Structure 1
């Protein structure tokens, strides 16, 4: 784990990860790493027929995120330039476990382990979550055509998967602080006071980490 600030933001689809990453990038003058989403040529087909298109969709995401993180390590972290990302590559396993059949998941996991074993690990996680109603509302508001066919049941299950994943993450990585943000209570896009509250939480965590490195 690098001692250069490397913040990853995670949470279900539509929760506001990219919006918050942009705000933090601007506030702290960190490089912004955005995941490739709409460029995935399989994603629309995936939302229409998950079983048929899940493996292609997940492999596209994995390969592109691997390349992004490889570049980030070389061009930023290794040069002591801080980064804030709107995803953590381990999210791939959340989706793969939910969408892939057993035989394809086994193949996928082998490739995932090979590609990610040397990847840089964030030294701070921000976890955004909210009720299904809030998530659905935010997906509608941002208006991505490709997301309009997402089933509410899929989003609900994904939210549960994320919660379980983050609980395990905190156990497995006790030295990586996790800042949890409840999207039902805080709307950092519409409310500057809520945004300032989150920024102060992040700043305090960064200061604590800096003190621990000295």
Structure 2
């Protein structure tokens, strides 16, 4: 049986994932799954000292995203109901490969695959790509205290990591469409026509 539409919105920190996912959920009358960020008890410590707190941070995110997606399967996917999420579970590998080293990275990858390999994957991906200046402006605008001192080189590396990850996903799952949005030029919040173009494209794929 064909899986119901499972849409994931992805992109680096500050790209506008949650905003776009929420707007599309309202436009398409879909339930929206939002990742837990500010509730992570290790996030402040992580931005102060990435080396000491990266494993705890990544494990918290992984376990919470796993629980959310497991519930999503039960509530929506198994019942043939479409749903939209403001993340793809694959992002755990994007971030952990950047922050973890050696044995910790290996252990994390093992746990990731044990938890996620049998979960349904999104069958429509929206990738918001944006340059560093754009991300920094959006991060400043939303005003999260723990992001105030974010390392610019870390954020730039994430941009490159996301490009590589989307290319990898395209190879792994060639039947899954990846819609790339130029976050530097497209303002789906202020420009109604640009948002409607995105939502129309999603409707065509559902």
> For residues 80 and 204 of structure 1, what CA distance do their matches in structure 2 show?
18
Q: Secondary structure at the match of 1:181?
A: strand
Give the conservation status (yes or no) of the 8 Å contact 2:8–2:87.
yes
> For residues 56 and 43 of structure 2, what CA distance do their matches in structure 1 show?
9
> For structure 2, which runs of at least 5 residues remain unmatched after alignment?
none
Q: Deviations over 1:24-43 (max 9, x none)?
A: 11111111000000000001
> For residues 200 and 178 of structure 1, what CA distance do their matches in structure 2 show?
15
**Paired residue total:** 206
Structure 1 match to 2:184: 184
> Following superposition, which runs of at least 4 residues in structure 1 exceed 4 angstroms of deviation?
none
Give the conservation status (yes or no) of the 8 Å contact 1:18–1:86.
yes
Structure 2 match to 1:92: 92
> For residues 102 and 35 of structure 1, what CA distance do their matches in structure 2 show?
27
How far did 1:3 drift? 2.1
> For structure 1, which runs of at least 5 residues remain unmatched after alignment?
207-214
Give the CA RMSD over aligned residues.
Answer: 1.1
> For residues 75 and 196 of structure 1, what CA distance do their matches in structure 2 show?
28
Q: Secondary structure at the match of 1:121?
A: coil
Q: Secondary structure at the match of 1:12?
A: coil
Q: Secondary structure at the match of 1:204?
A: helix
Structure 2 residue 93 is matched with structure 1 residue 105: no
TM-score, normalised relative to structure 2:
0.97
Structure 2 residue 23 is matched with structure 1 residue 34: no
Structure 1 match to 2:195: 195
> For residues 171 and 112 of structure 2, what CA distance do their matches in structure 1 show?
21
Structure 2 match to 1:211: none
